[in-house]
Amino acid sequence: MKITSTIYRRHFLKRQDSGMTEDQTIGSALRYARVMMGLTLEEAAEGICSVSYLSKLETSKIKGSKKLLDQLTERFKVRQSSSENRYQFETVLNHLLDYLLMHEPFNDQVVEPLLSYTDYQGLMCQLILAFINQDDSMFSKLFFEMDFVISTLKDYEFALLTSVVAQVLYRHGKYQQAYEVMTFIPKSFDLPYGISIIQKHIQLSCALKLNRTIDLINNYHDYLNELARMHFMALYKDMRFKFLEYEACYQKEERAIRTYASERELDAFDKTYLSIKTLYYNGQYSQVLQMIGKDYHKHQGIFAIYLMTLDLLNEKNKIKEVLTLCDRKHINCTYAQSIIKHLEMKLYGTKEEILKYLRNDIMYLKKFPEDIMLIEYLMLDCQKLFELYQYYKEANQVIHQMMPMIFNLRKAI
């Protein structure tokens, strides 16, 4: 995943500086076609118009005359926009917003008519479909293909793009970056009310993962009441579950399990998962294994807890057996992927490989989700491993190195 909040901030600032939006799709269509054909501005403009004219047309600084537009669209085999095209595109955007708000199935047929378009609308429709299908490598590729036009998107388009970028970052455990990206949502009175709901939802979801208590105290209950009042029940259920998952790390098991039993919005599996997480954080490891049984492979969050529990009980042979049997292709949970990587290094790495991994990856949290609970687990294990190899100075440095990082993640933006 190559998209970062730093890259997105660059588009946000460029958008603020230019103050321009693409009213016609022809500019982005011409530029995209030119880049795909490997032509320079000079080569593309030859015999039709000046280089500066084509450059301004591509960046929506001018609208262009009908005669020149006809010649350029003929050369590059691209279409000119129409009111019908705009209506189709707005239908796609509204359908995406409904999907984000209601969590209802996404109708691919809404997008299909625009997928063949070579302008920014076509690219954005392809990007939306990649997001829906959770094809994050394709999403990243399309995002960078759209690089030249992102800063000229209209407020609604930019707000929805921002929302899906933040959700992809969240999927990859980049909670701090997802939180920051959502601060780039345009402050416009013309945006639908649903955009504000999505912004709050993503930022609160990140705050829960990052243990940002101040954010939760200030916003959680008001947001939950707002969702109930507006009947966004899918988001209400999702936020309530995430909050209970956060609380599971701190509650005593008796009280927590009573709470889960009284939650009407939770299904039986959700209650089981939360109970397992509560038992884990209360140090009831035998009960964790007993409750999971042979079903550790049915949920990737449970699988991660199962592996950490086996590790804490020093069940090396069982860990080897589980890692041998697990299907890596279907593990897309970054939390579980990180635990697998960590345990494989502990079990099969040489002393030199393990020390290099601890110093380069763990100490600086490279390539790991920004999840407080995972970081704390890795931090304590890192300290134990340094002590095992008698690197006591570095064992002491672990806490001093990682606590500021944890504090920074918990700090609200």
Band the pLDDT of 114: cuts 50, 70, 90.
confident
Higher pLDDT, 228 or 120: 228
pLDDT > 50? residue 292: yes
Tokens of 45: 């403009």
pLDDT for position 23? 52
pLDDT for position 345? 94
Tokens of 88: 């189709």
pLDDT tens digits, one per residue of 373-409: 788 888 889 989 999 999 988 888 887 777 776 666 5
The three-state secondary structure class of 187 is coil
Q: How far is CA 294 from the centre of its chain?
A: 30
Per the prediction, the chain carries an average pLDDT of: 85
pLDDT for position 135? 92
In the predicted model, what is the mean pLDDT of residues 87-108? 91
Q: Where are the alpha helices (DSSP H) in 47-119?
A: 51-58, 66-76, 83-102
pLDDT for position 133? 92
pTM of the complete model: 0.81
Of 19-28, 80-89, 359-368, the least confident: 19-28
pLDDT tens digits, one per residue of 219-262: 999 999 999 999 999 999 999 999 998 888 888 888 888 888 88
d(CA 314, CA 408): 32
pLDDT > 70? residue 319: yes
Band the pLDDT of 298: cuts 50, 70, 90.
confident
pLDDT for position 412? 47
Of 114-123, 171-180, 302-311, the least confident: 114-123
Higher pLDDT, 25 or 112: 112
pLDDT > 70? residue 320: yes
Q: Where are the alpha helices (DSSP H) in 150-267?
A: 155-171, 175-181, 193-209, 213-230, 233-247, 253-262
- Do residues 290 and 310 make contact, with C-beta atoms less than 8 angstroms apart? no
- Do residues 128 and 167 make contact, with C-beta atoms less than 8 angstroms apart? no
- Report the sign of the C-alpha dihedral through residues 206, 207, 209, 210, in that order: positive
Q: Within 13 Å and on the Cβ side, how many CA atoms surround 292?
A: 28
pLDDT for position 411? 56
pLDDT > 90? residue 179: yes
Band the pLDDT of 340: cuts 50, 70, 90.
very high
**How many residues belong to the chain?**
413
Q: Which range is most confident: 47-51, 65-69, 408-412? A: 47-51
Tokens of 350: 């040489």
pLDDT tens digits, one per residue of 10-43: 988 888 776 655 555 567 677 777 777 788 888 8
Provide the terminal-to-terminal Cα distance of the chain, rounded to the nearest Å. 23
